[in-house]
Structure 1
Amino acid sequence: MIDTRFGRWLLPLFARRRGGRRTPEAFRPRGTSSRVSRLSARYDADVDEALQRLWPKARIYHDREFTHDRADFLLVVRGRGVMVETKVKSDPGVFRGSTLPPLLDRLQRDGRRLVVVLNQGDPTPARELIASKLGDKGCVVVWSGPEHDNELRGAVEGLLQRMVRHA
């Protein structure tokens, strides 16, 4: 049976999307419709908004392609950069960081700082992994919304304060 309601066909072509913000192309699910991919895309957009809200004058660069050895964002605040990697868990269990080693190896070579932003769960094993690879140049923060902005700000500012520019 053919759908004869014109609204369904014409609205996507001519109407503006309702419901507020538009999702940038970089945050749309990458070729899969799994629940975790949809959660991940929404979470990336929410973290991006939080970074813009917390550091309105900062530059935020997004990685346009999916790789295991590059972070999702580069946040540049006052001329200093911090890599931001988002991780989404669909359950509130323990986050071990099993997908982090390629990224940690690259950042260890490059000497970059990293904040892993996790939506939920216990990040203790991941904190130990990051500490063993990056030392005090990395941390994990559980952030699930604006009520956790202080933790995110504290983690990033802490890494920025530890940076020393060499002449």
Structure 2
Amino acid sequence: MIDTHIRDWLPSWVGRRTPETFRVRGTSSRVSRLAAQYDVEVDAALQRLWPKARIYHDREFTRDRADFLLVVRGRGVMIETKVKSDPGVFRGSTLPPLLDRLQRDGRRLVVLVNQGDPTPARDLITTKLGDKGRILVWSGPHHDADLHQAVEALLEQTSRHP
């Protein structure tokens, strides 16, 4: 006899994902795989650089919330990850909903791009967030010093009550 209840066979067909796994996002499967792997690497870097920090990962895909919230010494910085499949210019066309929300909330943001030239996006972030936003290319541990410097600079200016 064939099982006709879709709820019984669908999870085994598409595979179950635990809540601990990083979400797959993006429009192409290659970019989705790169994005998921990049999030894992960024999470490891945050844990390595701030071992006593609390790190929250937003597991739901939305354009107006950052991927991570890093809380260090009681102060928070939002971390947004962006993955490009090519080394070209990163314009930040997907950032405005997030920047608008953070501008209203008065929060700090670091955008990490895996490769490319982030200059146009830097201009966009500066226009919206001023000195509360940073963008940098981070593609591995050799960029940890840049990430540490950007986050610490934002933490120094962050008040507990924005």
TM-score range, shorter chain: 0.7 to 0.9
Q: After TM superposition, give the deviation of residue 24 of structure 1 in Å.
A: 6.9
Q: Which residue of 1 aligns with 2:149?
A: 154
Distance 1:101 1:122 in 2: 18
Task: Report matched runs for 1:1-167 at 5 Å.
Answer: 25-30=20-25, 34-165=29-160
Aligned sequence identity (%): 81
The AA in structure 1 aligned to 2:55 is: I
2:154 partner SS: helix
1:164 partner SS: coil
Distance 1:165 1:75 in 2: 14
Distance 1:29 1:135 in 2: 31
Cα contact 2:90–2:119 (8 A) shared by 1: yes
TM-score (norm 1): 0.82
What count of residue pairs does the alignment treat as equivalent? Answer: 144
Q: Which residue of 2 aligns with 1:7?
A: none
Cα contact 2:74–2:160 (8 A) shared by 1: no
1:27 partner SS: coil
Distance 1:88 1:64 in 2: 16
The AA in structure 1 aligned to 2:42 is: V
Flag the 1:30–1:101 CA change in 2: closer, same or farther, 3 A.
Answer: closer
Give the RMSD, CA atoms, in angstroms.
Answer: 1.8
Q: After TM superposition, give the deviation of residue 64 of structure 1 in Å.
A: 1.6
TM-score (norm 2): 0.84
Q: After TM superposition, give the deviation of residue 30 of structure 1 in Å.
A: 4.5
Cα contact 1:26–1:62 (8 A) shared by 2: no
Distance 2:125 2:39 in 1: 21
Distance 1:84 1:97 in 2: 14
Can you give the 5+ residue segments of structure 2 that lack an aligned partner in the other structure? 1-17
2:33 partner SS: helix
